[in-house]
Amino acid sequence: MTNFKYDPKFYDLQINWEARLKKEIDFLLGIIKKNKIERLLDIGCGTAHHLQALSPYVEELVGIDPLKDTIAYGAKNVATAPNVDLRVAGFENLENLDIGSFDLVMSLGNTLPLLKTKRKVKLALKKCRKKLVDGGVALFQFLNFDRRMIEANTYYKPKSLKYKGKLYIFLKHFEYGKINTRADFLITELDPQGTVTDFWTNSSYFCTLKKNLFTKMAANSGYKDIKLLAPDGKEEFDHKKHISLYALLKR
């Protein structure tokens, strides 16, 4: 099964990008300014909204995503800045890309745990470190995989919106597993009369990447100054109250 094979149109529709970027931009710009970032790599960049938003502040930005349709959609509809370079690639072929080294390597959303196994996650961490210049920083964002947190948020609040005369309802469901946590993404399409005209479902499996496991992997991969931060990027991550986290690492 290919994890998270998702129509880029629906991916963009179900995210309020204006609100998300407004929430995240100060944290990301703080990292960029503090570390004097000139070259940035975004792994699993999706439709490239983060790269476009950060393009005025970074000299050169490269985004990679393994889904060809997603990169094509992002290049056509989102990433219009001339200093943004989008390519079809992922963690698995990162070392073969002729893209040089970076001051910041980031992977947002749940791109890292989507690798599914601990071995692949650790290998990805090592590959990212090799792409960093000396003193460079890596930023990862992923779910809080504490069992109690996942089970308390088994169903996310449904989202709905209208697009080209149709109503779309988006639903996410999570099921905790000690090794892998399953995520189900469901989309229902309805016509103006309320009749269901189409339905899509996609299941993905995350590596259940808990705090202590990730910290150990990062340290064993050679990272220094490992910081786990809350979703706002301001306070220390607390696995008992935060639904997700940022991991900020230094080479």
Q: Where in the chain are the domains?
A: 8-144+207-250, 147-206
pLDDT at 2: 44
pLDDT at 235: 96
Burial classification of residue 135, based on how many CB atoms lie within 10 Å of its CB (0-12 exposed, 13-18 middle, 19 or more buried): exposed
**May I ask the CATH class of domain 8-144+207-250?**
alpha beta
Please spell the DSSP secondary structure of 97-160, one letter per residue. Answer: -----EEEEEE-TTTTGGG-SHHHHHHHHHHHHHTEEEEEEEEEEEE---HHHHHHTSBPPPEE
pLDDT at 11: 82
pLDDT at 12: 85
pLDDT at 1: 33
pLDDT at 7: 77
- 84-88: strand order across its sheet: 84-88, 60-65, 39-43, 102-107, 132-143, 244-250, 224-229
Best CATH choice for the domain 147-206 from the list 3.10.129.10, 3.20.20.220, 3.60.15.10, 2.20.25.110: 2.20.25.110
Q: What is the pLDDT along the chain (251 residues), one digit of tens a residue?
A: 344 456 788 788 888 899 999 999 999 999 999 999 999 999 999 999 999 999 999 999 999 999 999 999 999 999 999 999 999 999 999 999 999 999 999 999 999 999 999 999 999 999 999 999 999 999 999 999 999 999 999 999 999 999 999 999 999 999 999 999 999 999 999 999 999 999 998 899 999 999 999 999 999 999 999 999 999 999 999 999 999 999 999 99
| Closest of 143, 150, 85 to residue 114, by C-alpha | 143
Q: Are 21 and 52 in contact (CB under 8 A)?
A: no
pLDDT at 143: 97
pLDDT at 8: 84
- The reported pTM is 0.94
